Amino acid sequence: MTLQLENVSRVVGGVTHIRDVSLKLERGSLNVLLGATLSGKTSLMRLMAGLDAPTSGRVLVDGKDVTGFTVKKRSVAMVYQQFINYPALTVYENIASPLRVAGLPKAEIESRVAEAARLLKLTPYLQRRPLEMSGGQQQRCAIARALVKRADLVLLDEPLANLDYKLREELREELPRIFASTGAVFVYATTEPMEALLLGGSTATLLEGRLTQFGLTAEVYRRPSDLATAGVFSDPPLNTLTATKSAGVVQLETGASIPVTGAFAEVPDGRYTIGVRAHHLQVEAGGEHDGHAQSAAAAPGARFRLRAGVTVAEITGSETYLHMEMGQTPLIALLPGIRSLEPGAAVDVLVDPNEILLFDSTGARAGRALDAAA
């Protein structure tokens, strides 16, 4: 099937939950809805499923208008963040439950349950009850119950959010393989940019109920169409600096000047916003921090240096989130290993001009996109 939303909006009690969204999802595709909490992911899924009706716009399935159809009249399966299983039933009975409700023959039920259990590696646990299994196995059971219906549309609303790190990583690796084995339209909601990148497929970025961009996941990440999309697809938050290009010089609002290289070499004079993801910043211990941004001379294409002061270093064990200030502008760098830097310490922040995203005064992308390696 093909699922299409045409200028769909949803307003509840005067509050706009979904704002004029148009989206087309093809058969056999994996689609990620990426956005912060309250960005509209669940609201959009409910409109896709027929659990809610849009205030305006249309929902089409294979070109047919199904806007007024309830979920019972659509071929839909859904898995929620809070996975739901019947505790008194075995795993086999849980997976088989929607098929029994549909009145399928016993042989068909057994065949479908066996297939879903194989895909989700649940075959050894079919006679256990959910509470006798790990959290990851219970979530697999919930996903298997959704898959066994062979619905045309499968919606997964942050299905891994409540699992521990190891289980999340395990299921993230398995889900694309599982998705590829069916012909359904899959829609997967997440707040985590890294999860979207790991899953692949296509990604729709959402901000305050508005669709900002939709396309192949890697393309949306490397080539965000605007500042809003770049912000949604950055974790830690995107570093932003305001700059003005004039007469062959780029001057930052903080007082620093930087070389006219990279993306800046391709745009006309004007005011811009620089976006740099945290993992693209390098940090070196610097001299005394005087509270003002400075820049050192740099050869064309070389990294340029900005002076900043440390505010806090968050050490996770394998990585360090280094929070800094350049004048009054906050910066954050994601650095490998342990970096023990005291608050107030001066550092040099190294930025590769080829790794910056550039946006014009309207927020639209300016210049070229990041390289494929970004």
Spans of all domains in the chain:
3-232, 239-366
Task: Determine which helix (DSSP H) or strand (DSSP E) holds 186, and give its type and residue range.
Answer: strand 185-190
**Does domain 239-366 correspond to CATH entry 2.40.50.140?**
yes
> How far is Cα 76 from Cα 94, in angstroms, rounded to an integer?
17
- Residue 321's DSSP bridge partners are 314, 334
User: Is residue 293 packed enough to be buried (19+ CB in 10 Å), middle (13-18) or exposed (0-12)?
Assistant: buried
Share of the chain above pLDDT 90, in %: 66
Is residue 66 over pLDDT 70?
yes
> How far is Cα 244 from Cα 271, in angstroms, rounded to an integer?
4
What's residue 292's pLDDT? 45
Instruction: Please name the amino acid found at residue 291.
Output: G
* DSSP SS3 for 311: strand
Structure confidence by residue, pLDDT tens digits, 220-239: 999 999 999 999 999 999 99
Structure confidence by residue, pLDDT tens digits, 308-332: 999 999 998 889 999 999 988 999 9
Tokens for 196? 């979207």
> Which strand ranges, in their side-by-side order, compose the sheet holding 210-216?
76-79, 153-157, 185-190, 30-34, 202-207, 210-216
Q: Among 126-135, 212-221, 263-272, name the most confident range.
A: 212-221
Is residue 373 over pLDDT 60?
no
The string over 97-118, giving b where at least 16 C-beta atoms fall within 10 Å of a residue's C-beta and e elsewhere, is bbbeeeebeeeebeebbbebbe
> How far is Cα 275 from Cα 281, in angstroms, rounded to an integer?
11
| Domain range 3-232, CATH class | alpha beta
* DSSP SS3 for 320: strand
CA atoms within 13 A on the CB side of 42: 10
Tokens for 332? 């954050």
Is residue 290 over pLDDT 60?
no
pTM: 0.89
What's residue 368's pLDDT? 64
Tokens for 34? 């990426």
Structure confidence by residue, pLDDT tens digits, 31-61: 999 999 999 999 999 999 999 999 999 999 9
Average pLDDT of the chain to the nearest whole number: 89
> How far is Cα 328 from Cα 244, in angstroms, rounded to an integer?
17
What's residue 213's pLDDT? 98
**SS3 labels along 5-22:** EEEEEEEECCEEEEEEEE
